[in-house]
Amino acid sequence: MNFETVHYLNIFLGIGAILLQIFSVVILLILFFGSKKNIFLDYVEKHFLAIGFFISLCASVFPLVYSEIINFLPCYLCWWQRIFIFPMLFIFGVAFWDKDKKVVRYTLPLLCAGFLISVYHNFEYYFSESASSLPCDASGVSCYQQLVSEFGGYISIPMLALTVFFSLLVLCLVVHIKQKKTN
């Protein structure tokens, strides 16, 4: 792939990540500060499985595009995050097929573990003083190469991963809270 195509892919994913971040924060605000009966939250709860499947599909396909087609090798922490996000595609896929909203119980441990690794990765990526303190540089692949850096450096591969984990956790939270209120 040429540089221009990769740049446009980065822009596309960056815009998608920012929209997903806004979507997730709005959901949280409505969930905690809005009225108990909300059309938007009802829509999210109703289509939770389709949204979760779509997000996990994108979160599984695009890292493979970056590593296998564009040849951006993943760092050590990216591999750990992949371990926790790749199964989501199949878990949400089966749950979407069976219309099983109990999937929250199965996805929550994986999402929490991946989210914690992603938070650590982002903290080190954005706030670390030097490349030597980032744990992924010993594997031969360093995040300090900044293979993806869009919108003033805000959108990076670690930020894309954090966005995915955060949005899936928010979706699970909506379903969990809405189910508790109805029981």
Q: What is the pLDDT of residue 73?
A: 78
- What is the pLDDT confidence band of residue 183, given thresholds at 50, 70 and 90? low
Rounded Cα gap, residues 74 and 64, in angstroms = 10
- Tell me, yes or no, if the pTM score tops 0.85: yes
Q: What is the pLDDT of residue 145?
A: 60
Q: Which two tokens stand for residue 48?
A: 């939770």
CB 60 within 8 A of CB 85: yes
46: domain range? 3-182
Question: What is the average pLDDT across 1-9?
Answer: 80
Structural domain count, the chain: 1
Rounded Cα gap, residues 148 and 151, in angstroms = 10
Q: What is the pLDDT of residue 17?
A: 92
pLDDT at residue 39 tops 60: yes
